[in-house]
Amino acid sequence: METSKTTLKLLINKTERKVLFAEADKDFVDFLFYVLSLPVGTIINLLKNKNTGWCLGDLYRSIESLSETYMQSNESKNSVLNPKSPLCPNEIPLLSLDNSHEPNAVLKFFSCPNSNHYSSSHLYVADAPSRSCPGCDATMNHELTFVPPECTTAADAERGFVKGVVTYMVMDNLEVTPMSTISCITLPIKFKVMDLSALEEQVVDFGIDEGLKLLKASMECKNVLTSVFLGNMED
């Protein structure tokens, strides 16, 4: 897993021990966007040793113990327990939680061995060499190599989801908005903070450990940043 870190600037209400919001850069926001792309199986796998108490965790463990005898011949338990994310972590420089893609790994796909330029009935592509061709039922084991597009512009060269030209405000419940002076001024009013001396800034590191805590907390509560950095979780 990636071990790089970024920093967040938290605005904390000391009286209530609550994070009002975090001032974050592109790396952290890209990470939040990337979390939404993770398959459920990957999330459960990442958190299965975190005492989540979810029924999905029980389902995951039952599938782990299920014999391959009960699986369809063209399917495997691994495709369910360790699904591939649609995005390669190389696109997200920070904190790639999903390790189903090895760093710098070449993406491979498979086609029907009977495919050719003269027939469209076999022109199908699969992500595993065990699928059956819908056109002829042959095993799709003809290996293809994915060629990624080359960066042609400065915008293409900046990986991830959001632009890095602005600072972002991430609320305690992980809502994301661009940072603005007006929003900073009105937030104390929104949160009914009468004593500004109760507010303090705190700079914190955000790495893989915090990323896993955030992923778990986001499934369990609405005050995610408070839970991760102040250890105060509300129902």
pLDDT tens profile 142-184:
888 777 655 555 555 567 788 888 999 999 999 999 998 777 7
Question: What is the rounded average pLDDT of the residues 87-103?
Answer: 53
Residue with the larger pLDDT of the pair 176 and 115: 176
The predicted-structure confidence for 24-57, as pLDDT tens digits, reads as follows: 999 999 999 988 888 888 888 888 877 777 788 8
Q: How many domains does the chain have?
A: 1
pLDDT confidence of residue 17: 92
Full residue range of the structural domain in which residue 196 is found: 6-86+158-230
139 DSSP assignment: B
* Residues whose CB is less than 8 angstroms from the CB of residue 9 and which lie 6 or more positions away in sequence, other chains included: 22, 23, 24, 201, 202, 203
Cβ 207 vs Cβ 4: under 8 Å: yes
Residue 141 lies in a domain: no
Residue 134 lies in a domain: no
Residue with the larger pLDDT of the pair 28 and 78: 28
Residue 235 lies in a domain: no
pLDDT surpasses 80 at 205 = yes
Residue 93 lies in a domain: no
Residue 58 lies in a domain: yes
Residue 107 lies in a domain: no
Residue 223 lies in a domain: yes
pLDDT confidence of residue 95: 57
Average of per-residue pLDDT values in the chain: 81
Residue 199 lies in a domain: yes
